[in-house]
Structure 1
């Protein structure tokens, strides 16, 4: 009896392997390399929701956050939140607050208050609009609780205490600001502004260094959710091994957040001055890593806050 030619089998194996590779790639479609295709535009269902009289696109108190037909496909947690919102409206509730816990973010500094948000913020979240800083603060508090329950060595810095608006505030002051009243020339104003800008950076760096030292024995990773120009970037600080991982869903160039890198450098040096554990070969600054695989948002979208929360997830 004539034996079958083994060559076609080898060819079939090659085809099968090629098919498996393509399937493997398809499964990782949301997990991209550091540089994404800027022409990529994902259509999300919420973008096509019409403006309805009983469910307007613009937030209206007491009106549903999403149409009924849309709520059928959302996760059960969102359904419970929506049902609670309807009941809360009947009671006249408008604002929600969560107390600031020093166990989560450390001691509250100047201008740091409790977490405050309203139903308009929840509506924005349901519609995948820009995520407000208060919602990110709340998410960090939730993740801190989850990390404790799961035994994960992860901590979170307060986004409000480290955001660009916090350390860049002097640049927003007008020339008639009270601190410039003794300045007679534009050069004197510029000098005074530069001084206060440096002081604001020092204050943020001191907070980060203090928490690095405080959490030295409790955390291997300290997440810094940083907001710059309404864009969210997650910095994973690992001072004990002298490394910083940057999770930027839009891959902005490093020069965009140079000021924050300078702040991290100052914080690391202060941490070392406090006898913080660090590699001997890294006495001045941590190694920065930006090129590695992680989730990226679609181009021309405002989903950076949601991608940030995913990067911060325990």
Structure 2
């Protein structure tokens, strides 16, 4: 078996496309997106008899003792992609890939393995993360909470309409929402305009990036960004004008996006984890129903490099990210499948 770390441009295109088929997060376009945030897309590959058998895609940040690797960044999921012909060798192939990550001695290496694509490697710590999955497959699906249903109907009566986000038409209002949210939190935005421009360009090429926009009488009311991964709609980031919240645009935008994507065969809504202390957000998500599932985040932090990284991080200015896809650690439920039915 041959293990290699390849820049995205050097990965065999056709062979990798077969492994990544059906995954937005593993697609070359999505990997390349993170260049706009200072990342370097790379793929750790495993070859058997000269052919690509498996891949672990991700993004590197930083250099030297501060270099990090994430599969994938910022609340998106990663893990091992495997040729079905080598399924019986999954444990040994995954172990070899994770051992190569360890030998690279990243200051921090993280694999958010929602699909549980690899056995837990002893060289990595495991943080059990949690999210909520909602079945949206029924033709007449509605969230179970009666008050939420009423709020959705109110938005319809108010004439709230949801449209695809278009950079040229909407970016000024969107960036105003981003800046206003950052001011409310006393921090700078986590993402700059070039990243959002790159994301908008990707959304034009790949409809698995579902960026939706809403205005009321010419005023920006809200922006929702979702990612379609397999059969799941993943809520990633939301910005909105709090002064227009009485119109219930957030509730309607999420409902409308669920119905739209369900017609394309999407069956689940992933609401993401909730940061500690965000009781209001936790209550809001609970109103959408669904079931809570846990999944492993495999993390390795080097000893001395861990100290160096923490010193560097202590000088970094706080940032704010209004995102649904957090990865807060939770204990694995005793005796429970970490992700039943996945």
- TM-score, with normalisation over the residues of structure 1? 0.30
Query: Comparing both structures, which one devotes a greater share of its residues to helix?
Result: 1
Query: Comparing both structures, which one devotes a greater share of its residues to strand?
Result: 2
Q: Which has the larger Rg?
A: 1
- TM-score, with normalisation over the residues of structure 2? 0.28
